[in-house]
A = this chain, B = another copy of it.
Amino acid sequence: MAIRPVDLFTVVPSPEEERFDTLLSGKGPWRLERIVSAGQSSPRSFWYDQDEDEWVTLLSGRATLLFADDDGSTESVDLLPGQALLIPAHRRHRVTSTSAEPPCLWLALHGKST
């Protein structure tokens, strides 16, 4: 059976909406996702609050995430290509900004880490 590489960058970014593609998933459960952003950000009143940990790696572009602590304080984190971070389950966060040129290509691994 032929082995065919996939080029993660051959995806057309949309200025309208972010694109999410599941690349692989398994029991656990865990799920590897490609995300392509091009200028999008989370709504201002919105927080992601996820049941699982998320390991996110930025492959291209520039992005800024905002994290909230339970005491109401927030922390802004800039990401450059090649940088990765672990977002623990239920750590509230939102995407403050993503670059459109170049678009942001992310790899996100969702799962409960041990």
Binding site for B on A (CB under 8 A): 1-9, 23-30, 32, 53, 55, 57, 59, 65, 67, 69, 75, 77-80, 82-87, 91, 105, 107, 109, 111-114
**Also in contact, A112 and B27, with CB within 8 A (given A5-B84, A85-B4, A85-B5):** yes
Most buried by B among A53, A87, A113: A113
Task: Write out the residue numbers on chain B whose beta carbons fall within 8 Å of the beta carbon of A53.
Answer: 24, 26
Task: Write out the residue numbers on chain B whose beta carbons fall within 8 Å of the beta carbon of A25.
Answer: 113-114
Task: Write out the residue numbers on chain B whose beta carbons fall within 8 Å of the beta carbon of A86.
Answer: 24
A26 CA to B55 CA, complexed, in Å: 12
List 8 tightest A-B contacts by C-beta distance, closest first: A28-B28, A5-B83, A9-B82, A5-B85, A30-B30, A26-B111, A26-B113, A24-B55
